Structure 1
Amino acid sequence: MELTAERTSFFPSILMSLNHILTVDWFYVSALEGKPLGIRAFDPEYPFDDIAPLFEAQRKSDTKLIDLVDALEPSDLARILVLRDDKPLSEQADRILLHLFQHQIHHRGQVHAMLSGTSVKPPQLDEFFLGNEMEQAARKDDFAALGFSEADIWPEPEKQKG
């Protein structure tokens, strides 16, 4: 099966890579919520054997992260958050967010590269937020699945949070 076939990457399969992205999201998003899962986020290390429930769990995690970020005030970014409840480990919220986004980009890029060796065409990722009509049309379904629109991402200047 293409999803579990051994491939060249940090994690040796697409499924293992996608599971890793999700469990790391659980680790950091739970800390951002003020309810750190700590190492429990990684038990089990690879929680899903099938893509459908993994996709749904990742969608829920992404939606939760979007809602958390949308609710942030500038002062929230300086808060120190507990990452683990089993031993002292905390970090500033803005650094957690930067790390989390970089982690997602890093491993999602690896999955994108692994997809190139399958029968599944990798999605277009490198111009995702450009404003031309062709790019807007290409991301329309992704935006709809996440429950937001172009106007949510690119509000008129007077409508932006101050």
Structure 2
Amino acid sequence: MITPDYARRMAAYNAWQNRQLDQAMGALDHAALVADRAGFWGSILGTANHLLWGDRMWMARFGVGSAPEQGLPDSPALHPTHATWSAERFRLDGRIALWAEGLHAVDLAGRMRWYSGAAGREMERPVGEIVMHMFNHQTHHRGQIHAMLTAAGVAAPVSDLFLMPEA
């Protein structure tokens, strides 16, 4: 379904996008970052926190790092400030990149089982599909943050994959 090269490319894209979001978020004060913007996860920081929470959860399921202690409903409050979010986002993006660098085709084959708190039951899906889901989930929520940043008057980052600088 997917290859290790796909995962590596998406990990690089994820880190590039998050660096840009971090910079754009830094242009706002704390009140603007936590203002309710009618997004599914409330605010810019709340959505960024939820995305970080989801990435930590998936990476833990892939055997990299620990799952967040908070449950899904509390994910928007994972980090109370931009600075603490930024530091953890940087660390996690590094872990995602290292994980992707170590992938082999066999790691993306087979099926994965896990308990989904969101679904309230055990789940089983092809590993490659779950890896694609993690990267798709990132893009989905970064799009929401992009819209909220634009509405807040901040020049939102370029998000086109083909414009990503080559490493």
SS of alignment partner, residue 83 of structure 1: strand
Higher CA-based Rg: 1
What are the equivalent positions in structure 2 for 1:12-31 lying under 5 Å apart?
A: 12-31=42-61
Which SS does the other structure have where 1:8 is aligned?
coil
Q: Could you say which residue in structure 1 is the equivalent of 2:71? A: 42
Cα offsets for 1:54-80 (capped at 9, x unmatched) = 011112212211111111111111133
**Structure 1 unmatched ranges of 5 or more:** 137-149, 153-162
> Structure 2, unaligned stretches of length 5 or more?
1-30
- What's the CA shift string for 1:10-44, capped at 9, x where partnerless? 2221111011001111111111126773x746375
Structural mapping, 1:38-117, within 5 Å = 40=69, 42=71, 44-45=74-75, 46-84=77-115, 88-117=122-151
Structure 1 residues 59 and 35: alpha-carbon distance in aligned structure 2, compared to 1, 3 A threshold? closer
Q: Which amino acid aligns with 2:83?
A: A
Give the letter aligned to residue 135 of structure 2.
F
Counterpart of 2:155 in 1: which secondary structure? coil
TM-score, normalised with respect to structure 1? 0.69
Matched position secondary structure for 1:3: helix
Determine what percentage of the aligned residue pairs are the same residue. 28
Q: Match of 1:124? A: 158
Structure 1 residue 96: Cα displacement:
1.3
- For 1:21 and 1:29, how far apart are their aligned partners in 2? 12
Structure with the larger RCO, 1 or 2 (CA within 8 Å, 6+ apart): 2
Distance 1:34 1:40 in 2: 15
Amino acid at match of 2:57: F
Return the alpha-carbon distance in structure 1 between the equivalents of residues 125 and 66 of structure 2.
12
- What count of residue pairs does the alignment treat as equivalent? 132
Shift of 1:94: 0.7
